[in-house]
Amino acid sequence: MSKPLSALPHPPGRIPILGDVRSADRRRPTQHEAELALRLGPVFQRELLGNRLVVVGGADLANQTLDERSWGRALVGPLAQLRELAGAGLFTARSKDPLWGQARRILTPGFSQSAMRIYHDAMASVADDLAAKWATSPVVDVHQDMTSATLEVIGRAGFSCRMGLLGRQDGAAEGTEQFLDSLGRVLVWASESTNDVPIVGTVREFLGARRRNADIAVCRNFVQRIIESRLQSGDHGNTDLLGLMLETEDPDTGDRLPLHNVTDQVLTFLAAGHETTAALMEVALYHLAAEPISADRIAETELDPAPLTYEGVVKSRQIRAYVNECLRLWPPAPGFFRVARTDQELGGYHIPSGRGVFVLALAAQRDTAVWGPDAHRFRADRFTAERITAGSGKFFSPWGAGPRSCIGRQFAMHEASLLLATLLSRFRFRLEKSGELVMRERATLRPEPFRIVATPRKSER
């Protein structure tokens, strides 16, 4: 007999009616939940004013929720909030919205591995601009430079548009800084309001609504200018994401995407594509700077100073393993929601059909039961020693699951590998101040700003 959800373990100090308010961390919600998972077990509950969140943090149970026949993706939490920003963009569209399928079919070729060959030069131009900057100013604000680099990559590779954050300024988009500020505030709101205590949240919501609408307008106007200038330029190439969306028809229906949906998509790619990849890059640079010996080993055995080709990136196994270990320990999207399609059982508890659960990748990817006693340690060779797949029992799902999993996966992997390989082949890094990696949360899990010092490798030999 399986137990009801009300019997799930919960944090200590529960208060009648209010619930688990004492155990709420608005600033670092998922890190707090990962700690709770260590104490409460592989599945537990948190309750606020009668709203129960079921958190799955054990690898075995998390793997069960990946089965598409029994579970699907749920559009709740920060995702639901972000609909205000990105409407029916891929990320926030409902699965049954015909625009989701249409956009996914139109865009899939633009995110395939072979498309990376086309984007390679645009991505490499960003790596070069970054390296040129570091060569003249060696004390690097990693947060700022990774924000710039990842936005430049999606802008140049995806929309053939310079963002003006790195490299030449001529012909670059205007208002990028303002766009970034506004986008940042909207992401903070989406992340924090989901963890708000009701009532307090309602008041905060009311006070913030005007500011937020203004921020959303700034974001949408910025994107509309990019699209308009492409339409006016009369450039009808469809070799980038924007071209695909403006020029090609859905193979199933023959329809093109309506222009308002193209705006939703461009905004989605700018938002979903930069925060996450920047977080990944920052975690990687932190570890490379904190452990220069393993950085040197990769630089010496795998990289040479010549510019990287597309094939070179695909073949850099150690870099990929390094990136995967970063994604395991600090998944930029720390978890995702799944909903039971039919009645399910999870760890001895009954999950009724339609019930949503939060799969906490941050916890499951560190589960010592499958990852071993050193699960919390950074050890990139885990990913070179064996092939880790969904079937290998070790939960590793930084890209989500099923048909709604990350469409930008190859894009982000190529980008991160190329940027890291280029920077690592040209520089040695050290942390400006030694210290632990501290993560903050705003819909994504991303390091607090830190600095590294970059010294050219050549001059040392």
Residues that bind ligand MNH (CB under 6 A): 73, 79, 90-91, 104, 154, 268-269, 272-273, 276-277, 280, 332-333, 336, 398-400, 404-408, 411-412
User: Do residues 237 and 248 touch, judged by C-beta distance below 8 A?
Assistant: no
Residue 44 or residue 330: which is nearer to ligand MNH going by CB? 330
User: Do residues 432 and 138 touch, judged by C-beta distance below 8 A?
Assistant: no
Residue 40 or residue 283: which is nearer to ligand MNH going by CB? 283
Position of minimal CB gap to ligand MNH: 408
CB of 151 to ligand MNH, least distance (A): 11
Residue 255 Cα distances to 108, 110, 245, 258, 341, angstroms: 16, 17, 11, 9, 30
CB of 21 to ligand MNH, least distance (A): 26
Residue 185 burial (CB count, 10 A)? 19
Residue 11 or residue 110: which is nearer to ligand MNH going by CB? 110
Residue 118 or residue 453: which is nearer to ligand MNH going by CB? 118
CB of 30 to ligand MNH, least distance (A): 12
Match 């560190």 to its residue by tokens. Answer: 366
Residue 276 or residue 422: which is nearer to ligand MNH going by CB? 276
Residue 375 or residue 413: which is nearer to ligand MNH going by CB? 413
d(CA 397, CA 41): 20
CB of 268 to ligand MNH, least distance (A): 5
- Structure tokens given for 348: 């001895």
CB of 1 to ligand MNH, least distance (A): 32
CB of 203 to ligand MNH, least distance (A): 28
Residue 71 or residue 310: which is nearer to ligand MNH going by CB? 71
CB of 208 to ligand MNH, least distance (A): 24
Bridge partners for 453 per DSSP: 139, 430
Which candidate, 30, 28, 55, 21, places its Cα nearest to that of 41? 55
